Structure 1
Amino acid sequence: MARDTIDSTPITGVAELAATLEAGCKPADAFRIGTEHEKFGFNLADLSPIPYEGPRGIEAVLTGMERLLGWERIEDNGLIIGLADPVGGGAISIEPGGQFELSGAPLENLHQTCRETNCHLSQVREVAEPLGIGFLGLGMTPTWRREDIPVMPKSRYQIMTRYMPKVGTLGLDMMYRTSTIQVNLDFSSEADMRKKMQVGLALQPVATAIFANSPFTDGKPNGFRSYRAEIWKDTDNDRSGGLPIAFDASFGFETYVEWAIDVSMYFVKRGSTYHDVTGTTFREFMNGALKGVIPDPTPTIGDWNNHLSTLFPDVRLKKYLEMRGADGGPWRRICALPALWVGLMYDDGVLDQAHEMIRDWSAEEREALRNDVPAGGLETRFRNGRVLDLAKEMLALSREGLKRRARVNDGGQDERVHLAAVEETLASGLSPADVMLRRYAGEWGGDLSHAFKDYAY
């Protein structure tokens, strides 16, 4: 997230909070696609992580991007931590370990998304290469130890770093050593949100398997296809996971609010200061728990929006839905991930078919799928088949949805062209992690320095 929200409107109750989510409802012809991706900066000379400060660090890259793009500077305690596009709505930000993130603008079609991605990566190379910096597209750092990774100077991350070890064993790995691709999608009504949430949550492990790309930790195989997904199982289960309540027939905006306000907050921002309020739930905040603890203790809509950004279910609800299950990866997969979900979600008929596909899955089956996929990947067993079979069904539905959208590029190709990377994966039956493991055992000769060449942008 590039910039924390400031909105001083006082909160009066749960219904008002639900209304902030319901405000995201829009007609289908106004649906947009927002794609986000993260990548690891590294020194080209020795493949080490780059620091924040100095002439060859994240600060220098952000400053160079500021000069190149003319975007608005975002600061924390006087230090640049991101950039915001005042026209298109996109943003650049940094994650705790220096992961460099593009939060793309809300765009009308996937051709625009792919152009945006290619343009961004070209701009990053233009700034970073003269500094001796490259960027790596994987779901987890393959060789760096956690203690070797520099800490970015963002106040919210300092609070999170102190809190994570209290609620799980792998939260710091999530913060400092993982990266993702995700897509943000719109909904037209509460019922449409509910259906998309259910489809997204049930099929998120399938997307994890398709995009699994984190099989190495500390310079050796870790036994998983997506160790990034495994990390999320022991990060902070109060605020993450498969969100079983979303499958209740009555699930809606207020249901999500009732769940969210009982999750511990990380911080409350007053002025430029981030106050550590971990251990206090948002409901307790609403009931006056922070009177005498922070300035201006009345909860505001800005506080609520910031709290929403610190919740991490596999599909996150704001004024849109965020699909959060995929590992980071090479540029073609940055286009393929949104293509997969847009095809499923943005045609009502296809969405109905996808919902029918998952309708009779039990809560136990959904949880087992989420638990087993990080290690098993596409080979994970499900009922009488494998996740690979589910992935092929998911792909077929997505292809049909994109065909029906009929959004063509200058060459007359519709959006199905962006599914090519997924099609190749499923045709071979090998996830990106499987391919990497084969290279590691074969042509790389056990030398992971090759990853920094083969998977760099």
Structure 2
Amino acid sequence: MVTSPELDRSVILRDSAAAFRHLARICFKTGPPTYTGVELEWTVHDVADPARPVDPARLRAALGRHSPVTLDPASPAEPLRHGGTVTLEPGGQLEVSTPPRTSTGALIQATEADIAQVNGLLAAVGLTLGRSGIDPHRRPRPVVETPRYRAMRRVFDERGPAGRTMMYSTAGLQVCLDVGEPDQVGARWAAAHAIGPPMLAAFASASRHAGQRTGWASARMAAWLAIDPARTRPVWTPGTAAENPTATWTRYVFGAPLLCLRRPGQDWTPPPGVTFGDWLDGALPRPPTTDDLDYHVSTLFPPVRPRGYLELRYLDAQPDRGWRIPLAVLSALFHDGGTVCAAYSISEPVAHRWSTAARRGLSDPALAAAAAALFDLALDALPRLGLPAGTHDEIHEGVRRRLAAIRRAER
């Protein structure tokens, strides 16, 4: 992703204008669209009995010096051999984030190597990675506890069980793309959102949870959408393509209630209903700092989140090496201005159908048609990614198989 000099994270924010300027600097870092990144999450299971709970001690034994400090405070948290970092979600879901690359092919190669290393570490203690976007075997249960996670659980519990399902049972695939040059930001921002519903539908893998069919193609996204619209609804909506993304995002950030309020001790539960905008207006004893604002942003989970780059958060985890296909499709769709505009035009009519995509997947005719058109567009652009021949051929064939399945269903 585009980088910038380190910012002072401890500046006191005296007013909303200062907060707006900070968000513009850290969330929309413009420059040539060069880098692509990927973050992969999986549920973790016992090889012999995938419904058996996995405890923290077993995960520590597997990950060793790569354990995140949330699992082992004394861990050096060493990167994997190709630079990937390992983190754990509250339910013990394992995430690998490899450094962004200028080449999609290089990113795939490095990520595959890091995943192979993780698989080896897990296999040594009889564990394996899951294959879907939600745990198909176990009910939600905490594995990693921190003050942040406890505060999240308390807040989410006020709205129902979806928060615990999200925290302890879901696994996603996140693709990270540069924001682009200043004159490209609006188009890339709108397209990243618009293609979300058809891409969610096309790669939904989360229909079973805790031993039962859920009635959703993506029960993972269903959980996210049910948590709290103020922090999980899309930031962009159809009809607002010309709106300034920074202004839209700032309103979203200011309007979201605090999820955690960091303080000494183990209780980070915030005062009920206090938004970051309220904090700026003096609702709490001390004014917020830029670091507080950055932390608040980390507790917002829209389908597309600006973090200096665009983090596309709407894909379910994929089985085995299946993650390469949506990564390559999105890389191809965002290869240049022409593909971005074409992808937006295809998707704009269904850009609002998030819940339908999560519920019905590709059984919805409009979403299936949009997904097929996006796959066609991606296939045309795929050669421009410069993938190694073998990787290109495997991904090309994988996209064609998915496209053929859509066409058969349409008949």
TM-score (norm 2): 0.87
The alignment partner of 1:223 has SS state of: coil
* Structure-1 separation of matches of 2:249 and 2:69: 30
Equivalent position amino acid for 1:11 in 2: L
Please say if 1:37 is aligned against 2:40: yes
**Could you tell me which residue of structure 2 aligns to residue 339 of structure 1?**
328
The alignment partner of 2:124 has SS state of: helix
Identify if the C-alpha distance between structure 1 residues 191 and 269 changes in structure 2 by more than 3 Å, giving closer, same or farther: farther
Q: Any residues of structure 2 matched to 1:48-447 within 5 Å, and which?
A: 48-54=51-57, 57-65=58-66, 74-75=69-70, 78=73, 83=77, 85=79, 90-146=84-140, 149-244=141-236, 247-248=239-240, 249-269=242-262, 275-279=268-272, 280-291=274-285, 297-359=286-348, 361=349, 366-367=351-352, 369-382=353-366, 387-405=367-385, 407-409=386-388, 411=389, 417-429=394-406
* Structure-2 separation of matches of 1:333 and 1:127: 21
* Structure-1 separation of matches of 2:177 and 2:189: 10
Equivalent position amino acid for 1:41 in 2: V
Q: 1:190 offset after TM fit, Å?
A: 4.7
The alignment partner of 1:268 has SS state of: coil
Q: Is contact 1:76–1:272 with CA below 8 Å preserved after alignment?
A: no
The alignment partner of 2:268 has SS state of: strand
* Structure-1 separation of matches of 2:381 and 2:293: 34
After superposing the two structures, state which structure 1 stretch, 96-105 or 309-318, moved more: 309-318
CA displacement, residues 272-307 of structure 1 (integer Å, 9 cap, x when unaligned)? 86732253211112222221xxxxx33222211111
Equivalent position amino acid for 1:78 in 2: P
* Structure-1 separation of matches of 2:172 and 2:250: 25
CA displacement, residues 352-392 of structure 1 (integer Å, 9 cap, x when unaligned)? 22223345x3xxx543x22222232112032xxxx222111
Q: 1:159 offset after TM fit, Å?
A: 0.8
Equivalent position amino acid for 1:260 in 2: V
Q: 1:311 offset after TM fit, Å?
A: 1.0
CA displacement, residues 61-90 of structure 1 (integer Å, 9 cap, x when unaligned)? 332535xxxxxx63479365x936499864
Q: Is contact 1:339–1:415 with CA below 8 Å preserved after alignment?
A: no
Identify if the C-alpha distance between structure 1 residues 397 and 14 changes in structure 2 by more than 3 Å, giving closer, same or farther: farther
Identify if the C-alpha distance between structure 1 residues 17 and 41 changes in structure 2 by more than 3 Å, giving closer, same or farther: same
Q: 1:36 offset after TM fit, Å?
A: 0.6
Equivalent position amino acid for 2:234 in 1: G
Q: 1:312 offset after TM fit, Å?
A: 1.4
* Structure-2 separation of matches of 1:227 and 1:427: 25
Identify if the C-alpha distance between structure 1 residues 366 and 75 changes in structure 2 by more than 3 Å, giving closer, same or farther: closer
CA displacement, residues 7-59 of structure 1 (integer Å, 9 cap, x when unaligned)? 2222244344344444343432x6211101111111223223444433xx222
Aligned residue pairs, count: 399
* Structure-2 separation of matches of 1:141 and 1:75: 21
* Structure-1 separation of matches of 2:131 and 2:336: 30
Q: 1:430 offset after TM fit, Å?
A: 9.5
**Could you tell me which residue of structure 2 aligns to residue 7 of structure 1?**
9
* Structure-2 separation of matches of 1:416 and 1:26: 33
Q: 1:245 offset after TM fit, Å?
A: 5.0
Equivalent position amino acid for 2:378 in 1: S
Q: 1:184 offset after TM fit, Å?
A: 0.9
Could you tell me which runs of 5 or more consecutive residues in structure 2 were left unpaired when the two chains were aligned. Answer: 1-6
Could you tell me which runs of 5 or more consecutive residues in structure 1 were left unpaired when the two chains were aligned. Answer: 67-72, 292-296, 435-457
Q: 1:95 offset after TM fit, Å?
A: 0.6
* Structure-2 separation of matches of 1:34 and 1:204: 17
* Structure-2 separation of matches of 1:311 and 1:322: 12
Equivalent position amino acid for 2:373 in 1: E
Q: 1:198 offset after TM fit, Å?
A: 1.6
* Structure-1 separation of matches of 2:375 and 2:270: 43
Please say if 1:27 is aligned against 2:31: yes
Identify if the C-alpha distance between structure 1 residues 189 and 265 changes in structure 2 by more than 3 Å, giving closer, same or farther: farther
The alignment partner of 2:69 has SS state of: strand
Equivalent position amino acid for 2:258 in 1: M
After superposing the two structures, state which structure 1 stretch, 417-426 or 344-353, moved more: 417-426
Q: 1:105 offset after TM fit, Å?
A: 0.8
Q: 1:329 offset after TM fit, Å?
A: 1.3
Q: Is contact 1:21–1:319 with CA below 8 Å preserved after alignment?
A: no
Identify if the C-alpha distance between structure 1 residues 195 and 335 changes in structure 2 by more than 3 Å, giving closer, same or farther: same
Equivalent position amino acid for 1:14 in 2: S
Identify if the C-alpha distance between structure 1 residues 374 and 86 changes in structure 2 by more than 3 Å, giving closer, same or farther: closer
Q: Is contact 2:207–2:217 with CA below 8 Å preserved after alignment?
A: yes
Q: Percent identity?
A: 24
RMSD: 3.0
After superposing the two structures, state which structure 1 stretch, 196-205 or 237-246, moved more: 237-246
Identify if the C-alpha distance between structure 1 residues 253 and 152 changes in structure 2 by more than 3 Å, giving closer, same or farther: same
Identify if the C-alpha distance between structure 1 residues 393 and 62 changes in structure 2 by more than 3 Å, giving closer, same or farther: same
Q: Is contact 1:110–1:418 with CA below 8 Å preserved after alignment?
A: no
CA displacement, residues 402-437 of structure 1 (integer Å, 9 cap, x when unaligned)? 3334x243x4x6857535433322212399xx9xxx
Q: Is contact 1:168–1:236 with CA below 8 Å preserved after alignment?
A: no
